[in-house]
Amino acid sequence: MSRPCAIPLLFRSLFNGTLQRMKLGNRNTQNAEVIAWVGKVAELCQPREIFWCDGSTVEKEALTAEAVRSGVLLELNPERLPGCYYHRSHPNDVARVEQCTYVCTESEEEAGPTNNWAPPAEMYRKLYGLCAGAMRDRVMYVVPYLLGPPKSPMAKVGIELTDSIYVVLSMRIMTRMGKVAYDELGEGTDFNRGLHTMLDLDPERRHIAHFPQDNTIISVGSNYGGNVLLGKKCLALRIGSWLGRKEGWLAEHMLILGVEAPSGEKTFVAAAFPSACGKTNFAMMQPPRHFRGWKIWTVGDDIAWMKPGADGCLYAINPEFGYFGVAPGTNVHSNPNATEIIKRDTIYTNVALTPDRDVWWEGKGEDPPAGTVDWQGRPWKSGEHAAQPNSRFTAPMTNNPMLAPEAMDPKGVPISAIIFGGRRSTTLPLVYEAFNWVHGVYMGATMGSETTAAAAGAVGHVRCDPMAMLPFTGYNMGFYFRHWLNMRKRITHLPRIFSVNWFRKDDQGNFLWPGYGENMRVLEWIVDRCHGRVGARETPLGWVPNARDFDLDDLPGFTREHFERVQQINIEEWRREILSQDELFMKIYAFIPKEMIFQRELLVARL
Ligand code: GTP
Ligand code: SPV
Ligand code: MN
């Protein structure tokens, strides 16, 4: 059970009495704990009004009209993009900010060397100071939301208090928002307490702070997705991973998809790729023509909560209800499903705007029409970014024509394979399989990937990003590896573990592998391995496909030689790879499970 966040006495006396004067709005919950907590935050932040969201359609229409009136949203061309809206964030506020993200556990050791840490009391004091009176001329929205399908034993309730109408409308797409969450909570007190205020978007005052022991998140000074949609990275991953360790499950930065074979056989896999490394694309993939009769069903595109079931399988749910996807690169060839999904009921953030109120981004296909303005509202000049590289669409998952019916199933889907992947222009082959669970955990733990525009900072340098969770593990990374290792004792039918890399390049900088829908070929091999239908060849890294088993039919211009190249294991490169992995291992050396060190030695010996 979590402790309610305690407002320091200082503020309690400072703002005493203002609550009575404040318009309380129309409360739509009887939950005493929720009402008391909202009251306390209101005393601190001093909003001019409190708006209790119920998630209804009437409410959505009213809030959308208000957002348009106040200039937060612009209505897009209703003929082409019905129900779609355009939003620009502050140019200094376009991505997650890892340097401003804190995990405030009781001890520094609990947060571990890969997280920014501050003592909880100190951080509360600082943030309450920043929040004091911060909503004076604003509305505070009370946003109740449910992560996971209703009645799922894995589902969790969160309540986000925010002064951003953009956040409210986005949370309404990304989560099951409104009455459904209060119904699930009932009289309970076990809910995540989220407080968000934009302040003046000053990057100097930006903080995204997590208090796992209080199940509390406070985010100030930003209005960008991952920093402020608190159900997403903050609750579903950082607090989620902390709860998962305590309660015996895994909260992971993974897509979940179902592969349906022509025989009707359905296999579910989960895949962890770092931010902007292909999860949404893979989760919605359309198999190429050659794979007649095969279907891909999307369960989730960013986050998986996975827990061992009574039958010994590992079950996964998608805690989210929408997609917050990267716009650039999305087109009818790369992701035809996504182009369908985002034709209606979608909020576009930081893309370019055409004169007929349509949207545009790099890699959309056709050229932008004359008169297009860029993501900052300036006339677009050829050679400059029209869309911000991390521009996004926010769309309901119910728009997805390939949404897996199982996405609504409270018990989740059984996972047969876990896939780890990164963005690597060298070294990493297209696909290989771990020898066993412990080796697979080592593979995930030593994943490297080139940084992307999803987080503020330099783009394109390789960093170790264990399980794609470096910015999202809400506790000590060494303990997290230990938790992964321990999970094998709780799962009878362990998923097989694979490594993939869609991004290997030749000397001219061209991708060696066609990617996107053609990734179906890799997936087919993975599914066949899971069902014991296909052999493999042993290499120092793990099991790789025999050339004869890997389907390259109907892939013009891609020969067996190309396949050899994309699968190549270069021993020299791998020696360097291990040295670069040591950087993370040294950082968390004191906490690393010894199995990881053994696995490293085994790999060195095999090489
Ligand atoms: P987050 O939402 O940040 O977690 O990202 P994500 O992992 O869902 O990545 P997404 O699917 O949005 O892809 C990010 C970028 O990678 C897009 O520009 C895609 O076009 C590109 N991409 C995705 N899959 C492939 C692929 O198979 N090959 C190549 N070359 N690029 C890809
Ligand atoms: C990511 O960066 O991994 C995202 C986008 O999915 S955000 O919600 O900003 O985290
Ligand atoms: Mn993500």
Q: To the nearest whole percent, how much of the chain has pLDDT over 90?
A: 95
Establish if 335 belongs to a structural domain.
no
CATH number at residue 213: 3.40.449.10
pLDDT at residue number 25: 61
Q: Which of 190, 216, 247 is the last residue of a domain?
A: 247
274 CA: nearest ligand 2 atom: 3
Structure tokens at 298: 């999307």
Question: In whole angstroms, what is the distance from residue 541 CA to residue 522 CA?
Answer: 17
Let me know whether 147 and 289 are in one domain: no
Let me know whether 206 and 281 are in one domain: no
**Residue at 111: amino acid letter:** A
Give yes or no for residue 184 CB within 6 A of ligand 1.
no
Let me know whether 243 and 256 are in one domain: no
Residues 226-270: tens digit of each pLDDT = 999 999 999 999 999 999 999 999 999 999 999 999 999 999 999
Confidence band for 27, pLDDT divided at 50, 70 and 90: confident
Does residue 13 have a pLDDT over 60?
no
Q: Which domain holds residue 146?
A: 4-72+95-247
Let me know whether 212 and 287 are in one domain: no
Residues 351-362: tens digit of each pLDDT = 999 999 999 999
Helical residues (DSSP H) of 224-311, grouped into ranges:
225-228, 240-247, 279-283
Question: In whole angstroms, what is the distance from residue 324 CA to residue 386 CA?
Answer: 19
Give yes or no for residue 423 CB within 6 A of ligand 1.
no
Does residue 396 have a pLDDT over 60?
yes
Mean pLDDT of the chain: 95
Give yes or no for residue 254 CB within 6 A of ligand 1.
no
Tally of domains in the chain = 2
Q: Cβ atoms within 10 A of the Cβ of 494, count? A: 19
CA of 255 to the centre of ligand 3 (A): 9
pTM of the predicted model, to two decimals?
0.95
Cβ contacts of residue 576 below 8 Å, gap of 6+? 427
CA of 182 to the centre of ligand 2 (A): 26
Q: Cβ atoms within 10 A of the Cβ of 306, count? A: 25
Let me know whether 193 and 218 are in one domain: yes
Task: Read off the pLDDT of each residue in 594-600 and give the average, rounded to a whole number.
Answer: 97
Let me know whether 33 and 144 are in one domain: yes
Let me know whether 497 and 468 are in one domain: yes
Catalytic residues: 277
Select from 325, 345, 338, 339 the least CA-distant residue to 85: 345
Q: Which residues in 455-490 are b (16+ Cβ under 10 Å) and which e? A: bbeeeeebbbbbbbbbbbbbbbbbbbbbbbbebeee
Does residue 6 have a pLDDT over 70?
no
Let me know whether 451 and 544 are in one domain: yes
Does residue 2 have a pLDDT over 60?
no
Q: To the nearest whole percent, how much of the chain has pLDDT over 70?
A: 96
CA 535 vs CA 144, 300, 430: distances in Å: 49, 30, 17
Does residue 5 have a pLDDT over 80?
no
Establish if 331 belongs to a structural domain.
no
Does residue 16 have a pLDDT over 90?
no
Residue 161 contacts residue 52 (beta carbons within 8 Å): no
Q: How far is C-alpha 413 from the geometric centre of its chain's CA atoms? A: 19
516 CA: nearest ligand 1 atom: 27
Establish if 352 belongs to a structural domain.
no
Q: Which of 273, 284, 326 to mutate to test the pocket of ligand 1 (most atoms within 8 A of CB)?
A: 326
Establish if 330 belongs to a structural domain.
no
Establish if 363 belongs to a structural domain.
no
CATH number at residue 421: 3.90.228.20
β-strands 314-317, 304-308: how paired?
Answer: antiparallel
Let me know whether 223 and 277 are in one domain: no
Does residue 10 have a pLDDT over 60?
no
Establish if 266 belongs to a structural domain.
yes
3-class state of residue 76 by DSSP: coil
Give yes or no for residue 96 CB within 6 A of ligand 2.
yes
Establish if 81 belongs to a structural domain.
no
Let me know whether 171 and 36 are in one domain: yes
Give yes or no for residue 300 CB within 6 A of ligand 1.
no
The full DSSP string for 301-333 is: SS-EEEEE-TTSPEEEE---SEEEEE-TT--TT
Confidence band for 162, pLDDT divided at 50, 70 and 90: very high
Q: Which of 191, 218, 247 is the last residue of a domain?
A: 247
3-class state of residue 570 by DSSP: coil
pLDDT at residue number 497: 99
pLDDT at residue number 222: 98
The full DSSP string for 107-156 is: SHHHH-TTSB---HHHHHHHHHHHHTTTTTTSEEEEEEEEESSTT-TT-E
Let me know whether 493 and 527 are in one domain: yes
Does residue 78 have a pLDDT over 50?
yes
Q: Which of 195, 225, 247 is the last residue of a domain?
A: 247
CA 104 vs CA 219, 317, 429: distances in Å: 13, 27, 38
Let me know whether 574 and 435 are in one domain: yes
Establish if 408 belongs to a structural domain.
yes
Does residue 548 have a pLDDT over 60?
yes
Select from 60, 22, 67 the least CA-distant residue to 41: 22
Residues 484-517: tens digit of each pLDDT = 999 999 999 999 999 999 999 999 999 999 999 9
